[in-house]
């Protein structure tokens, strides 16, 4: 599979003793990094995973000519960040619903914004909207008009 080969090449360039386990997800390829250098991966943190997510689709395209979406995780870093984003969204929605004042979240990448929008899509008292241009955008969480959805 081109994704596994591309991930192996990128990891070799990184100098990390890690392997990539690739599986097909519903919307993208899911890549899990495993190996002896998980501690070093934790120290590098999310920026390393984000760079892998940026480079890996290009490397796959170079090998097989297909464009694919990819999500990379390792050492539980992505899952931990997703939990933080859900907690941030729920806390902000609670404040907005209770206080009636809109709130702007700090700039988030597209994947993080999607988590916020999905988390709050069923919240009865708020609406969400992405604001700005470029890769990082803010989300405005606004109260719904009383009595309306």
Residue written as tokens 């892998």? 52
How large is the angle between the packed helices 2-14 and 46-64, nearest 10 degrees?
130
What's the domain count of the chain?
2
Task: Specify whether 96 is located in the same domain as 139.
Answer: yes
Q: Identify which has the larger pLDDT, 31 or 147.
A: 31
Residue 64 sits in the same domain as residue 99: no
| 147: pLDDT strictly greater than 60 | no
Mean pLDDT of 46-68: 93
Q: CA 50, CA 74: separation in Å to the nearest integer?
A: 11
* Tokens standing for residue 139: 């989300």
H-type alpha helices, 1-149: 2-14, 38-44, 46-64, 77-99, 110-120
pLDDT at residue 79, rounded to an integer: 87
- Position 41 in a domain: yes
For residues 114 and 100, membership in a common domain is answered with yes
The boundaries of the domain holding residue 41 are 2-75
Both structure tokens of 47: 């920026």
What's the chain's average pLDDT? 93
pLDDT greater than 70 at residue 67: yes
- CATH number of the domain at 19, please: 3.30.300
Locate tokens 């008009």: which residue?
Answer: 145
87 in a structural domain: yes
Residue 79 sits at the vertex; the CA angle it makes with 60 and 84, to the nearest 5 degrees, is: 130
Judge contact between 105 and 141, C-beta under 8 A.
yes
**104-139 pLDDT tens trace:** 999 998 889 999 999 999 998 999 999 999 989 999
- Does residue 148 lie within any of the structural domains? no
| Whether 6 and 54 share a structural domain | yes
In degrees rounded to 5, what are phi and psi of residue 24? Answer: -80, 125
Which pLDDT band, with edges at 50, 70 and 90, does 148 fall under?
A: very low
């Amino acid at each position: 599979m081109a994704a596994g080969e591309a991930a192996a090449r990128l990891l070799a360039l990184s100098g990390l003793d890690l392997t990539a386990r690739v599986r097909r997800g519903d919307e993208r390829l899911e890549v899990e990094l495993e190996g002896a250098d998980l501690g070093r991966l934790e120290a590098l943190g999310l920026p390393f995973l984000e760079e892998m997510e940026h480079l890996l689709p290009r490397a796959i395209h170079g090998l097989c000519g297909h464009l694919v979406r990819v999500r990379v995780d390792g050492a539980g870093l992505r899952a931990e960040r997703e939990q933080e984003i859900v907690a941030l969204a729920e806390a902000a929605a609670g404040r907005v619903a209770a206080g009636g004042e809109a709130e702007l979240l700090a700039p988030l990448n597209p994947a993080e914004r999607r988590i916020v929008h999905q988390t709050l899509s069923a919240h009865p008292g708020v609406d969400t909207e992405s604001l700005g241009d470029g890769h990082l955008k803010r989300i405005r969480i606004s109260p719904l008009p009383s009595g309306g959805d």
